[in-house]
Structure 1
Amino acid sequence: MTEHRSSADPAVGRARPSRRRVLIAGAGTAGLLLAPGLPTAAAAAGTVPNLQPHASYWFPDSLPSGTPGDGIQWRSLKAWTPETDPDLAFNTASVPLAARFAPPPANTTARAGQARISGLAAFDHTAGNPSQGSATADYYALTHWAYLDELVFWGGSSGEGLILAPNAPVVDAAHRNGVPVLGTVFLPPVAYGGDLRWTRDLVQRGADGRFPIADQLIRVARVYGFDGWFLNAETGGGDAALATDMRDFVQYLRTHGHGLRVTWYDAMTDTGAVDWQNELNPRNQEFFTAADSIFVNFDWSASGLAASGTLAGELDRSRYAVWAGIDVESRGWDTPVDWDAIVPAAAPHVTSYGFYRPEWTWTSLPADRRAPGDFHARDDRFWTGPSLDPSAPRSGTGGWRAPAESVADRSTLTALPFATTFNTGHGLRWYEHGTPSSDTAWNHLGLQDRLPGRRWVVHTAGTRPAVSFDFADAWRGGSSLLVDGVLDAPATLELYTARLPLTGGAVVELTHRTDPGSGPVRVEVAVALDGPGTPGTAPRFRYVPAGSLPAGGRGWTTATVRLGQPHGNALHVLGVRLTGSGGTAVRWRLGGLAVRDSAPKSPARPGLLAVTSSATAADGASAALRIGWRRSAGPVRHYEVHQVLPGGGRRFLGGTPGTAYYLPALRRTAGEAVTRLEVRAVGELFTSSAPSSAAFTWI
């Protein structure tokens, strides 16, 4: 992926460097864009010695000459073993890949079973990418998983490492929503520091005929818990023999990976030269047939994509295993794209497509508008369209064809219990039962809930209220769902599509409140129990009263609504209906929503909690700690770590689905000699276990 022309914008007639901020020649330079002003882990830790674990990255075998830059470690994947990996526990994902289904689309133009979407997104630098989040809310907290078929954890540079494994929070969040995550193998152009010996290192064969680096790639993916690899071979100078080795390497990786995904990027051809074809054709088809899919370079044409789809069928492969690359790194939704060449409105879709750098919605935020709410407003527009309503995605201006217009969304809500606190995976503070238990900004996508896939469908005969994730108040986690506007007619907010089995004992719980200054609001749970309808039709809702909230805000309250004997055997759509009074403005928050058919149970207590390493700051006021514990018996959603305060209260320190956590700066309170730490298991209904404890003695 180097400089290219966009065939979708022939009038522009100029090269757009898609990687100018990604591929940097020379050692010691960051390989991936980081948003301006984002604090580093070292800055957050202050004077505390750095024990920070990072996402793993390697060269295939041989290392560059010279000395790596500050904070960069040059490592060989061939020499890697899990047993000697000090950060293994912090980088291992814990959430299994969820199954999902495609309900009837929210509009008549989106289609299931045709075009799919891949995203190549950079969440941080290649080197120095924290394994488990960090102390800032300024982060690419991707939430529109419903439209993605796979996510590529984008990275790699000649100065840091060429092979990048995804960090655990991204994998856990994606898996919770049924999205596979791929690591990146990047062999850069010579102009960006590429060296053909690294390509030869990658495809070297052992004396037994095996590919040792492929075996290591498989091992890493299995041990870390992600789903495959994106292969990008752009180092020029190869020959046909090297191309044959590469093809065999790709085939070996896919065959011996036993279910791992392999996506090939359109760069190297059958001659071994790097020559972007911008289509699937005989020059690159052998790599496509060896892999699961191909990501076509950005200079495609309508005729080239049509030919690609035809050739895929002739090779006994789906045309939707061809991703047409769309570079949105620089212009986002202003990127000119010939959408009809990929997803025509009046004919079957031609191929799938892939976004290169959709985190533009985050990185392009101006310095004075970098709050989490600003990011989500932009991200909703990118994926849903300017209307912010996937049931009517074209009710706006401009040429952007948002994914919601063409691609059917998918859901993982197929089993009880289900619960959400509308936690997006980052926040300005952490809330427990409506009260902040930490005043520190944070991000950790592994704590992200399953969020509404259709943002935001509102059925009303009156004025449409604004709907958003809001970070000024929450019941649990870092955010809540806010409905803000004049309710001059009842408004039904369609939140979740599902296939939740119901019994006569099924209940829906919602925790909600109105803000100070809000008018009163009557709340009903909206459920659709009928089977799938037709695309673009509103569900047949049944409304169950959930109480009324007075004007002015009285704090959080929880309503438990019994659905009674269901008319069907499954819940297909879940939402709420709000009715105002006298046309007054309403600010209503939904902090939690759950569906269950039995009483909540607390998970089992975690096993032994221990401080595995520590480093105290010179002034004795803070310390960096690595801690670990044993997994609880039975199902666990995630674990939460607290500091017990001298007065008896608790301070939230962080959470993870895994069994190890890094505390960059544990604060000493009131000169205490010993600080007690606690870890609790949290279940699907957000019930907590009894704690396991450990003491940290200050020196």
Structure 2
Amino acid sequence: MPSTGDFVYISTMLELADWRPEDVKIQASKVSNTPLLHRPPPPPTSPLPTHPRTTTLPPPIPNLLSCHDYKGGYHPSESAQGQFPAPSGPIYTAAHLHVIDTFVYFSHSLVSIPPGPWINTLHRNGVRVLGTFIVEHDAGSAALSRLLDKGSEGEYMFATQLALIAETYGFDGWLMNIEASFPAEGFRPSELQAFLKELRSAVAELVPGGQVIWYDALTVLNQVHWQNGLTLLNAPFFGVTGGLFTNYRWREPQLEATRLMANYMGRVPDIYTGIDCFGRGSLGDGGFGVGKALSAIRKAGTSAALFAPGWTYEHFDGRNFDSVDRKFWVGDGGDIESNPVKPVSHFVSEKACGGSEFFFTNFNRGFGKGWWVDGIKVMNTPWVHIGAQSILPSKNPRNTDKLKWSFNDGTAYFGGTSLDISAAAGPVAGGVAFCPLYSTAITANESSIRVAYFLPERSPTEVLEGEVVGVYYTSNTAQTQTLLPLPQTPGAWKVITFATITADPNEKITELGIYYRHSPAVTALGFKVLTLGYLHISPIPILPERPSRITDVVSASEEEGGSTKLSWKAYKHDFSPAMEKLRSLPGCFSRKTGDFASFLVWRGGGLVGVSYCLEYDVPAGVAVGDWRVDGVMWGGGIVRGSGGR
């Protein structure tokens, strides 16, 4: 299997034919360990008042696909073990995953296998991940001459290979992008249809929830002729796959024709109408103008596909990336209704964060200026690990909000980031302000909420009369927010659990956030009221301290004078009913790493790196010896490992 440093991809059909699942034994760090978290159905309507719209809009776009074409793919920041330490400068990440349903990793290699860190973060956030099979130009015809080869039992051997690759590396299917013609002799569209049908079936069998999407390029006439929609020339290929990703040079009459034809086939949401974020002929010219195309797509009722949303980084060379990316995806905090430039989130359906019974976030962004464990700083250097990104807030602060959140990279409870909650200057109606963080659809019955937080030290003159800060949630059954006040002692990290928050089996938590209250007679002056380290919702009120045991670390040199590989194993230790229930919850157990979401790799008391498998390749220049590995549970608890040998 070809491998360049930390990445695995395939460049030729011969390499694809020779690939075997056993190849990953020497590439464990490149395999995802995080199962796809299936998002629960959209939150039931809450009786709480919402911000009214001034206009009546069509239903939101049902599904949004993001095709990652960031600078051609496979960058050091996406490497399997991250970068510890990392170079300075902004890092491209996907911070607004709550609006995305499917993520395609795209490069110009024949077979693009998504890097493990991307798969882990996307799965943690409930986003399906596809690799890309692409053939281009005249050179692609040579590859296509073999694509329909059959094995000894009449199976399409490359359909089998592609399905096995997705299963082995832990992603969810393929975008099939054929931008070349098959050799003219003997081409039959029905043969390609049969191949695609078998590929779709094989992926569905091996990958739960797997998907195969066809790109609008090759037609049944064996010509690369982009249709910019669904037509008789590409419908046969759409008919045997899970979706059609259309080319992006469509206009509204073509989109309406696509809708009519897809409606006849009963598959309007399976059309992913393409938009190029760099423009290049797209309606609205890309960039912040994608809203024009998304508005037309919403009227038509199809799904949408954004190609190269890395525009938010590339077009500006990374300058002000956070604010540019936020404006593109969720807005800049202003009034969206009155602003002609509308963000992506305005057009798509709102997704629930977390699972139906389990939710955990430590606000990690996938990079940081240091690393903290239980609120203690254990590493002082910048780092990057795309796979460490947690579930980030889905509720974006508005400029008029009295209580707002912001990321804090100067301290954390675990990882590199915490969340600051700050009160704006000026009076608050009723003395209570709310800071929404997440839309959820979590079963509230018998659930517990666990919070890590600290209150900042303030002078006596800054402490307001009747001041209280706490967690709140809304539900589909309550007429008001449920308030859970936190102990108000400032100055140090605390962890508190609110056990069994409701006994109603039908109640769902639909929104989760922070509230702040003070006497209505007092005017707040604008200051930080709380720093959050993590939020955790689980039906298990007390987590077992040692659910699994981690063996000693074994150190072995791969070859004389070569690199050193560490390895260890994790065995189940706690078989109590509570622990077995936790393991049964989606997103709380891995076939690869069991009870642990990740591992901290220590040498001599200092943190060296993070692993998402049962091994670690020691970076060059790091001395060998005195190793320890600690396991990090899916709910944030840490199990200390023993030493190494």
Q: TM-score range by the shorter chain?
A: 0.7 to 0.9
Instruction: Tell me which residue corresponds to 2:549.
Output: 605
Listed as ranges, the matches of 1:277-356 within 5 Å are 277-316=227-266, 318-329=267-278, 332-335=287-290, 337-344=292-299, 349-356=300-307
Give 1:625 deviation, angstroms. 3.5
In the alignment, the residues of structure 1 paired with residue 409 and residue 58 of structure 2 have an alpha-carbon distance, to the nearest angstrom, of 33
Q: Give the 3 Å change call, closer, same or farther, for CA 516–238 of structure 1 in structure 2.
A: farther
Q: Distance in 1 between matches of 2:610 and 2:362?
A: 15
Deviation of 1:383 (Å): 1.6
Distance in structure 2 (CA, Å) of the matches to 1:229 and 1:302: 28
The question of 1:267 aligning with 2:196 is answered: no
Partner of 2:42: 102
Q: Secondary structure at the match of 1:693?
A: coil
Task: Tell me the alpha carbon deviations over residues 152-194 of structure 1, each in whole angstroms, 9 at most, x when there is no partner.
Answer: 01112xxxx311111111111111222110001111224xxx3
Aligned residue for 2:144, secondary structure, equals: helix
In 2, the alpha carbon distance for the partners of 1:327 and 1:87 equals 38
> 1:146 Cα shift?
1.8
Deviation at 1:335, TM superposition (A): 4.6
**Unmatched segments (≥5 aa) in structure 2:** 280-285, 573-582, 584-588, 590-594
| Distance across 1 between alignment mates of 2:167 and 2:438 | 32
Which range is displaced more, 211-220 or 237-246? 237-246
Residue deviations 1:615-670 (CA, integer Å, cap 9, x gap): 899xxxxx95332222342642423233243xxxx2222223322233324534xx
CA distance in 1: counterparts of 2:92 and 2:237, whole angstroms: 32
Deviation at 1:680, TM superposition (A): 1.6
Contact 1:384-1:405 within 8 A present in 2 as well: no
Q: Provide the residue aligned with 2:580 in structure 1.
A: none
Contact persistence 1:187–1:234 (CA under 8 A): yes
Conserved 8 A contact 2:116-2:387:
yes
Q: Which residue of structure 1 aligns with residue 353 of structure 2?
A: 411
Residues 298, 325 of structure 1: 8 Å contact kept: yes
AA aligned opposite 2:442: L
Match of 2:455, SS state, is strand
Q: Deviations over 1:370-394 (max 9, x none)?
A: xxxx533333222212327xxx643
What one-letter code is carried by the residue in structure 1 that aligns with 2:474? A
Q: Which of 691, 694, 698 is equivalent to 2:641?
A: 691
The residue number in structure 1 matching 2:103 is 151
Are 1:223 and 2:178 an aligned pair?
A: no
Q: Distance in 2 between matches of 1:515 and 1:287?
A: 63
User: Does the CA-based 8 Å contact 1:196-1:236 persist in structure 2?
Assistant: yes
Question: What CA deviation, in whole Å up to 9, does each residue of 1:29-57 have, x standing for no partner?
Answer: xxxxxxxxxxxxxxxxxxxxxx9852211
Which amino acid in the other structure matches residue 332 of structure 1? G
In the alignment, which of 479, 482, 486 is matched to residue 546 of structure 1?
A: 486
**C-alpha distance after superposition, 1:240-290 (max 9, x if no partner):** 715444332212211222253111110000011100011101000011011
Question: Which of 447, 451, 473 pairs up with 2:392?
Answer: 451
The 5-angstrom pairing of residues 68-467 of structure 1 reads: 76-85=15-24, 87-100=26-39, 101-103=41-43, 114-122=61-69, 125-126=72-73, 130-135=79-84, 136=86, 138-156=90-108, 161-190=109-138, 194-206=139-151, 208-236=153-181, 238-239=183-184, 241=187, 243-258=189-204, 260-316=210-266, 318-329=267-278, 332-335=287-290, 337-344=292-299, 349-366=300-317, 369=319, 374-387=320-333, 393-395=336-338, 397-416=339-358, 418-456=359-397, 464-467=402-405
Letter in 2 for 1:102: P
Equivalent residues of 1:384, 1:393 under 8 A apart: no
| Matched position secondary structure for 2:104 | strand
- Provide closer, same or farther for how the CA distance between residues 131 and 243 of structure 1 changes in structure 2, counting only shifts above 3 A: farther
Distance in 1, Cα, partners of 2:189 & 2:501? 64
Q: For residue 200 of structure 2, what is the amino acid of its counterpart?
A: R
Match of 2:568 in 1: 629
1:543 aligned counterpart, secondary structure:
strand
Whichever residue aligns with residue 247 of structure 2, its letter is N
Q: State the match for 1:511 in structure 2.
A: 453
Change (3 A) 1:133 1:608: same
Gaps of 5+ in 1: 1-50, 63-75, 533-538, 618-622, 669-673
* Residues in 2 aligned to 1:325 and 1:180: alpha-carbon distance in whole angstroms: 18
Shift in Å, 1:366: 4.0
Correspondence for 2:527 among 586, 590, 595: 586
Partner of 2:437: helix, strand, or coil? strand
- 1:468 is aligned to 406
Change (3 A) 1:569 1:126: closer
Q: TM-score, normalised on structure 1? A: 0.76
CA distance in 2, matches of 1:146, 1:125: 24
Q: Residues 508 and 694 (structure 1 numbering): CA distance in 2 closer, same or farther, change over 3 Å?
A: closer
Question: Once the 2 structures are TM-superposed, how far is the Cα of residue 299 of structure 1 from its aligned partner?
Answer: 0.7
CA 1:103–1:500 in structure 2 vs 1: closer, same or farther (change >3 Å)?
closer
Code of the residue aligned with 2:553 in structure 1: it is: L
Change (3 A) 1:205 1:666: same
* 1:467–1:422 CA distance, 2 compared to 1 (3 A): same
Code of the residue aligned with 1:59 in structure 2: it is: S
Q: Which amino acid is the alignment partner of residue 480 of structure 1?
A: S
Q: Does 1:491 align with 2:491?
A: no
Q: Matched residues, percent identical? A: 23
Deviates more, 1:331-340 or 1:104-113: 104-113
TM-superposed CA distance for 1:466, in Å, is: 4.3
Q: Is the 8 A contact 1:377 1:468 kept in 2?
A: no
Could you tell me how far apart the structure 1 residues matched to 2:447 and 2:350 are? 32
Q: Is the 8 A contact 1:215 1:253 kept in 2?
A: yes
CA contact (8 A) 2:312 2:321 kept: yes
Task: Give, in whole Å, the separation in 2 of the partners of 1:571 and 1:127.
Answer: 39
| 8 Å Cα contact 2:34-2:597 kept in structure 1 | no
Looking at structure 1, the residues matched to 517 and 246 of structure 2 have their Cα atoms a distance apart, in angstroms, of 49
**Equivalent residue, structure 1, for 2:576:** none
Coordinate RMSD, CA, aligned: 3.2
Q: Larger helix proportion, structure 1 or 2?
A: 2
The 1:205/1:284 distance shift into structure 2, 3 A limit, reads same
DSSP 3-state at the match of 2:570: coil
Report the number of matched residues: 584
1:555–1:593 distance in 2 versus 1, CA, 3 Å: same
Decide which of 631, 643, 650 is 2:602's aligned counterpart.
Answer: 643
1:642–1:222 Cα change, 3 Å: closer
Distance 1:197 1:564, change over 3 A: closer
Distance (Å, rounded) in 1 between the aligned partners of 2:173 and 2:456: 45
SS across alignment from 1:362: helix
CA contact (8 A) 2:563 2:617 kept: yes
